């Protein structure tokens, strides 16, 4: 009986610790209010208290094997720290040629210049893709392509969903006073206001809704994924992909998404796109419905009527069991066979959409 009491006390103590940790650690953000939940209940993509995908999407498949994640998989991380290019912010922010400029910052993060409007997509600039420092989830590079202190303004920040490898608390704390407007799916605004972002600086959208910032339109579109920053708020916030449209061109940003019927529909209704930024890393048969494999990323770009494909969601963190170079290697090999043009930029490299780099150099081999 005494042993049972001790075990129960230990379990109770752990439960209290976990509850306090979640409630007191700002990394976990904030949950939607009762009023917000009432609003969400009127949305067609919010059913039985949570947001839903258009297609049935299992979180895990029968391939899920926890033991596999503890095996020794080769080349999970680079053999040495990746050294990003030093992004020339003055040149990047200039609008002399009036073309769209992009720079990949690793994983799914981008900085984009559209007619002088500076946009960031999923700016995860932190060192760990987790609420606490975990060596296995550490960024491949100690540095990023530019110092946040060196950028004086960010007109728009767009987020796709609230997972730690996309919505990063330390990054928000660094950039929040430089950002004119955060455009996010429903529910993410709670995290942002909890971290000190003024409500007036946040626009929340549902799928098929849009917001103009000057001459640039940001369209919130479906993705096939899920959300949640803690054990008790799964799918309480929306996930999305985005179309960014202007007279200078159109960009599609997949966020995190599995392959699905929504892609062709988006291509028909919002395409063609000058470039598609497609989830193409951290895939696994265990969660094949919520992330794309390289061949699916290529098919997605074709469905979207994308001229160029840039594979994303790789090059910064290891969140699966494939070699860290598998995404670009497979895209490099398979895209020409399917007639899809690709760009495989180095981190921090500036891409001019009217004079794109075709990705004929395997820069990642320098770090393998």
Please state the three-class secondary structure of the chain as a single string: CHHHHHHHHHHHHHHHHHHHHHHHCHHHCCCCCHHHHHHHCCCCCEECCEECCCCCCCCCCCCCCHHHHHCCCCCCCCCCCCCCCCCCHHHHHCCCCCCCEEEECCECCEEEEECCEEEEECCCCCCECCCCCCHHHECCCCCCCCCHHHCCCEEEEECCCCCCCCCCHHHHHHHHHHEEEEEEECCHHHHHHHCCCCHHHEEEECCCCEEEECCEEEEEECCCCCCCCCCCCCCCCCCCEEEEEECCEEEEECCCCCCCCHHHHHHHHHCCEEEEEEECCCCCHHHCCCCCCHHHHHHHHHHCCEEEEEEECECCCCCCCCCCCHHHHHHHHHHHHHCCEECCCCCCCEEECCCCCCCCCCHHHHHC
What does each C-alpha distance from 96 to 92, 93, 102, 288 come to in angstroms? 10, 9, 15, 43
**Rg of the chain in Å (alpha carbons):** 20
Q: Which pLDDT tens digit goes with each residue over 17-42? A: 444 444 557 899 999 999 999 999 99
Task: Return the residue matching tokens 């997949």.
Answer: 254
Higher pLDDT, 15 or 63: 63
Mean pLDDT of 211-237: 96
Q: Would you state the pLDDT for residue 17?
A: 43
What is the Cα–Cα distance from 328 to 313, expressed in whole angstroms? 11
Q: Tell me the pTM.
A: 0.93
| Residue-level pLDDT at 4 | 62
φ, ψ (nearest 5 deg) of residue 251:
-120, 140
Rama region for 349: left / alpha / beta (φ>0; ψ in -120 to 50; rest): beta
Structure tokens at 304: 């979207």
Q: What is the pLDDT of residue 69?
A: 61
Which of the four pLDDT bands, split at 50, 70 and 90, describes residue 358?
low
Specify the length of the chain in residues: 368
Contacts of residue 15, defined as CB under 8 A and 6 or more positions apart, other chains included, come to: none
- Top-confidence residue, 97 or 332: 332
pLDDT digits (tens, 9 = 90+) for 171-201: 999 999 999 999 999 999 999 999 999 999 9
The pairing of beta strand 341-342 with beta strand 306-312: parallel
The dihedral built from the CA positions of residue 148, 154, 158 and 162, taken in this order, carries a sign that is positive
When comparing pLDDT for 62 and 201, which is higher?
A: 201
Percent of the chain exceeding pLDDT 90 equals 82
Mean pLDDT of 248-268: 98
| Pairing outcome for strands 273-279 and 306-312 | parallel
Neighbours of 11 (CB within 10 A): 10
| Mean pLDDT score, 58-67 | 77
Dist. CA 45–CA 67, nearest whole Å = 35
Q: At what angle do helices 262-270 and 294-303 cross, to 10 degrees?
A: 30
């Amino acid at each position: 009986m005494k042993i049972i009491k001790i075990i129960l006390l230990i379990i109770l103590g752990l439960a209290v610790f976990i509850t306090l940790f979640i409630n007191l650690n700002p990394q976990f953000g904030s949950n939607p209010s009762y009023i917000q939940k009432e609003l969400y209940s009127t949305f067609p993509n919010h059913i039985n208290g949570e947001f839903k995908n258009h297609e049935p999407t299992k979180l895990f498949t029968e391939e899920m094997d926890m033991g596999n994640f503890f095996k020794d998989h080769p080349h999970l991380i680079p053999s040495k720290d990746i050294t990003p290019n030093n992004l020339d912010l003055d040149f990047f922010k200039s609008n002399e040629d009036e073309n769209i400029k992009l720079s990949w910052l690793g994983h799914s993060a981008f900085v984009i210049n559209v007619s002088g409007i500076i946009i960031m997509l999923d700016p995860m600039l932190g060192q760990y893709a987790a609420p606490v420092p975990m060596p296995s989830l550490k960024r491949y590079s100690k540095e990023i392509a530019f110092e946040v202190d060196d950028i004086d303004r960010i007109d728009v920040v767009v987020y796709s969903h609230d997972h730690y490898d996309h919505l990063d608390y330390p990054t928000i704390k660094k950039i929040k006073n430089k950002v004119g407007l955060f455009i996010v799916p429903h529910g993410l605004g709670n995290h942002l206001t909890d971290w000190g972002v003024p409500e007036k600086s946040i626009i929340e959208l549902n799928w098929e809704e849009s917001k103009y910032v000057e001459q640039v339109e940001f369209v919130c579109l479906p993705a096939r994924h899920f959300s949640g920053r803690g054990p008790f708020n799964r799918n309480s916030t929306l996930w999305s992909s985005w179309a960014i449209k202007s007279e200078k061109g159109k960009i599609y940003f997949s966020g995190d998404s599995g392959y699905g019927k929504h892609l062709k529909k988006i291509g028909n209704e919002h395409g063609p796109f000058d470039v598609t930024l497609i989830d193409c890393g951290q895939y696994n048969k265990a969660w094949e419905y919520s992330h794309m494999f390289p061949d699916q990323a290529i098919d997605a770009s074709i469905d979207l009527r994308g001229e160029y494909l840039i594979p994303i969601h790789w090059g910064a963190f290891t969140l699966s069991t494939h070699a860290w170079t598998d995404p670009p290697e497979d895209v490099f090999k398979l895209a020409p066979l399917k007639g899809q043009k690709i760009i495989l930029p180095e981190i921090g490299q500036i891409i001019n959409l009217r004079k794109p780099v075709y990705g004929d150099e395997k820069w990642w081999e320098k770090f393998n």
